[in-house]
Structure 1
Amino acid sequence: FGLWLFVYLCFVFSHSVFLCYLFIKLFIYRPTLHCVPSLVSLPGSFHEAGMQEVDELVREYRHSCAWFLGPFYNIVRLFHPDYIKPLFLASASITFKDEVFYGLMRPWLGQGLVLSNGRQWSRQRRLLTPAFHFDILKNYVHIFNQSVNIMHEKWRRLLAEGKDELDMFEHVTLMTLDSLLKCTFSYDSQKSSEYITSIFELSDLVVERQRFVPYHWDWVYKRTAEGQRFYTACKIVHDFTAAIVQERRSQLLKNGPPENSTENSTARGKKKTVDFIDVLLLALAADDKMQITHFHNIYKMSTKCHDTTASALSWVFYNLATHQEDQERCRSEINDLLNGRETEEVTWEDLSNLPFTTMCIKESLRLHPPVTTVTRYYSQDMSVPGGCTIPQGNICLISIYGTHHNPEIWPNPEVFDPMRFDPENSKQRSSYAFVPFSAGPRNCIGQSFALAELRVVLALTLRRFRILPGSRRPKRLYKLIMRTEDGLPLKLEPLTEDG
């Protein structure tokens, strides 16, 4: 009872000082943010209604606005290419991740690439970059094929049982996690159900904690049922990664570094090739400043990335299910590429020969970006168009979703139109109008990995199945990534060899 009384008092106190605090904030920031309209707001909804509110906000203000998130946080929201460009391009030495949105993930992800700053971030980025070299990524394409084959076998069994409508998020998330664990750990996800469950639970708990301000204090959160679930799930994830890392490190010390070959035959087990974890372990051995705890933090970050790929795949399936002409055009392009081969395996070289399929993926990423916002603060004043200066330390919320739905840049932004990404139609468009993987020095290091997997999975899926709309229209829900409130039901029809 005492704990909940304390939480209640914190809640009452925070709202009682709201007007006074807001009055002061308005007078402090108004002179320097005169070009940015000011809004007074409590935390908005992450459901469908909340996404529609963002659409209205972008239509009304077009480039930016100042947003007061409760009594404690003053945020500048930006959703125009010209305004987000200088923020994305800012040097990593003056760019920092804020604690409001990212700090609550620290017990889970540690001081990895997502949450670190300054020299620590630069060192980790340098150590991670070789793991995403094209020579390494080529080896992963075979694994992408394997993982999607497993998912398709499961789909065929379910269809044979009369279950023709499936939740895409459920199936695709398991597939992308299986793929990531194989690419990084060389580990079979069939053995890690507890780890998978914990990853899903952590994503939900972080969002719930972000929305309830009293839970931002660790002292309070650790004493709640939700906090206990969160830290229990963290321990499961950390113990799992630590055990695998230690095992692979022992193998490396015993057997020496593997050979770096890019031939597909090596990825099939004939010869051990360098993979993600090998690159990091070799970097650990070469850098005496890098501790094993830093390695764990880097690795914990990387294993979270499967969620964004799963979101992207699920939404491109949905968008093509609701636009059958585009789906058929993709299928024709894929069949022209793969017909006549002894196997259906998509190769690295095939990825550049799927132009329309890639355009559909990009349009889906525009319409439903997996990560809708990134937040930053800067150690110096930042200038944006209109003679406006954002004071140092002010939280900047760069709205990827808002930029992708800005009618000044994208006519009829709610319409799915892959031809927006035809090279002729993209010539005059700012490169910062489409930023699903962020941009600048702190862009997503795994974007080439993700795009390769998206094309492999989509190509094989459309070759083997026709995707149709499900029994209900999905309602968007943002939980660290763009998801839906009650799954994403889609229907499947298996295709014969002649289509």
Structure 2
Amino acid sequence: MSVSVLSPTRFLGSISGLLQVASLLALVLLLLKAAQLYLLRQWLLKALREFPSPPSHWLFGHNQEFQTDQELQQLQKWVEKFPCACPRWLWGSRVTVIIYDPDYMKVVLARTDPKDHGSYRFLSPWIGYGLLLLNGQTWFQHRKMLTPAFHSDILKTYVGLMADSVQVMLDKWEELISQDSHLEIFEHISLMTLDTIMKCAFSQQSSIQMDRKSQSQSYIQAIRDVKSLFYSRVRNFFYQNDIIYWLTPDGLRSKRACQIAHQHTDQVIKLRKAHLQDEEDLEEVRRKRKLDFLDILLFARMKNESSLTDKDMRAEVDTFMFGGHDTTASGISWTLYALATHPEHQQRCRKEIQSLLGDGASITWDHLDQMPYTTMCIKEALRLYPPVPTVGRELSKPITFPDGRSLPRGVHVSLSFYALHHNPKVWPNPEVFDPSRFAPGSDSHSHAFLPFSGGSRNCIGKHFAMKELKVAVALTLLRFELAADPLQAPIPVPKIVLDSKNGIHLKLRKLL
């Protein structure tokens, strides 16, 4: 019996043949993909013919015009040149129509289009599919389940907790500053708002503002990293593929940052579960008081009152842990900066607060509705510096706008609240800080001011955020006089929330 043995030459020839076939197949697939992208681009060009925009590169789109430090300034130029909306090409066949007109906003926000999957999916390894990323019936079920956590009866009990966290931060500021010294406030305020959300939404007392080695400090840095990495990934053509991205240094950094964030939220859930050891404890909590955010999730999970899974629960905790502290930190930081750069308005707010609170030893729910001028200043700061600069939608059906222009199904739109708030056709002299815009009886379009988005998907925690803003601003102005650092003007950057590239540096003077 003879055995045929493949010679080395024939073996190498077979390998070479396979490589040639594989190369040919790869080339064919590449050409098919290129043809698909070309046809998609041509379809988009035709679909957007009613919406002019500056010339763009066929591959890199408008990215050259939108450098990191100048993105918002460039956007403002487009707002002044192109009415209502303007397409922005990110690359080849990826385009989003930026909307900054209140009538256009109203039409889009009245619909139920899903979030823009092309960009928002990059957030899923971090915050999972909670309220921010969910769509359709599942989103509706989660929203309905969590809405009671933000009832006014519950928010009333949080004012004291908010004030405690703010006072800890202000005490720390007194220790850190010498007379008329400067301080970067964004990081401190982020810790304060995280401290607040831990107390209010997750029933956890902590010393995270004072403990430099706490897990929460690492969490804050992880959030800062993942936001920056998300911002750069959305704008990088080569990072769109998940396999490629997770092999890059940025992808590895993002994975590590997500792990740190998840460790923090897992610990929060674990501690609360341990406190509610069994169903009897949970029933006792339910009888004694209304459930907070995490209690609602745990109760739904433990009692099988919904289809909520452990994965769903962590996604909601991750989502609200981020949304409940970072957006509010942005709002407070930029509001204090706005008041620091406008001392006449700052002083008027301070007098109003002093007449209401005296030394500020205590602040209550009722006080928060008795500071009209301070509220006007907060709203004007939110107009100039909206905490969430933009949100995205993918049109699920064709849309026609009031001026007769239309977009087909499948087009991505970006609702730019920053551009809306800086649109001179909506807000005359938009760069001027003018609280009288929000004086009682002032007339404005229902969708001209959207710091918390609008429609059915508006921010579920908007009332919580406004109350915390008022508490923080009031107590800060009672203890410090604020002035901007002329050598370190902040550079606004839209990284999910409105950050500052170089921080927000203020000059603080303790009031006697």
Normalising by structure 2, what TM-score? Answer: 0.86
Cα shift at 1:70: 0.8
Matches within 5 A, 1:374-413: 374-413=391-430
Which residue of structure 2 aligns with residue 6 of structure 1?
none
Partners of 2:354 and 2:67 in 1: CA distance: 39
Deviation at 1:100, TM superposition (A): 2.4
Q: Does residue 155 in structure 1 map to residue 173 in structure 2?
A: yes
How far 1:49 sits from its partner (Å)?
1.9
1:246 aligns with 2:263: no
| Identity of matched residues, % | 38
How far the C-alpha of 1:111 sits from its partner, in A, is: 0.6
SS at match of 2:441: helix
Q: Summarize the alignment of residues 61-460 of structure 1 with structure 2, pairs less than 5 Å apart.
A: 61-91=82-112, 95-160=113-178, 164-187=181-204, 188=206, 189=208, 190=211, 191-192=214-215, 193-254=217-278, 255-259=281-285, 274-284=291-301, 285-305=303-323, 306-339=325-358, 344-425=361-442, 427=443, 429-460=444-475
Amino acid at match of 1:400: F
Correspondence for 1:265: none
Residue identity in the other structure for 1:119 = Q
TM superposition shift of 1:83: 0.8
Question: Which one of 505, 508, 512 corresponds to residue 489 of structure 1?
Answer: 505
TM-score normalised according to structure 1 size: 0.88
* 1:25-65: CA deviation from partner (whole Å, max 9, x where unpaired): 56534555443224433335363422111111001113112
Q: Deviations over 1:142-171 (max 9, x none)?
A: 1110111111111110124x6710011121
Instruction: State the match for 2:25 in structure 1.
Output: none
Answer whether contact 2:122 2:230 (CA < 8 A) is retained: yes
Change (3 A) 1:45 1:136: same
Structure 1 vs Structure 2 CA RMSD: 2.4
Aligned residue-pair number: 465
SS at match of 2:97: strand
Find the counterpart in structure 1 of residue 62 from structure 2: 42
Displacement, 1:317? 0.8
Instruction: Give the aligned residue type for 2:106.
Output: K
Q: Residues 323-352 of structure 1: CA distance to partner in whole angstroms, max 9, x if unpaired?
A: 11100110011001012x7x6221111111
In the TM superposition, what is the alpha-carbon distance from 1:210 to its structure 2 partner?
1.6
Amino acid at match of 1:221: Y
The farther-off stretch of 297-306 and 475-484 is: 475-484
CA distance in 2, matches of 1:206, 1:58: 25
What amino acid sits opposite 2:314 in the alignment?
H
- Of 52, 56, 59, 2:80 maps to 59
Could you say what secondary structure the match of 2:222 adopts?
Answer: helix
* Residue type of the alignment partner of 2:77: E
Alpha-carbon distance in 2 for matches of 1:127, 1:225: 39
* Cα distance change of structure 1 residues 422 and 289 upon mapping to structure 2, 3 Å threshold: same
Query: Quick check: 33-42 or 66-75, which moved more?
Result: 33-42
**Taking structure 1 as reference, are residues 344 and 297 closer, same or farther at Cα in structure 2, changes over 3 Å only?**
same
Larger radius of gyration between Structure 1 and Structure 2: 2
Query: Structure 1 pair 349/478, CA: closer, same or farther in 2 (3 Å)?
Result: same
Letter in 2 for 1:465: F
Instruction: Find the aligned partners of 2:203 and 2:350 in 1 and give their Cα distance.
Output: 31
Cα-to-partner distance string for 1:159-184 (whole Å, 9 max, x where unaligned): 24x67100111211111111112222
Q: 1:127 to 1:362 in 2, by over 3 A?
A: same
Unaligned runs of at least 5 residues, structure 1: 1-15, 262-270
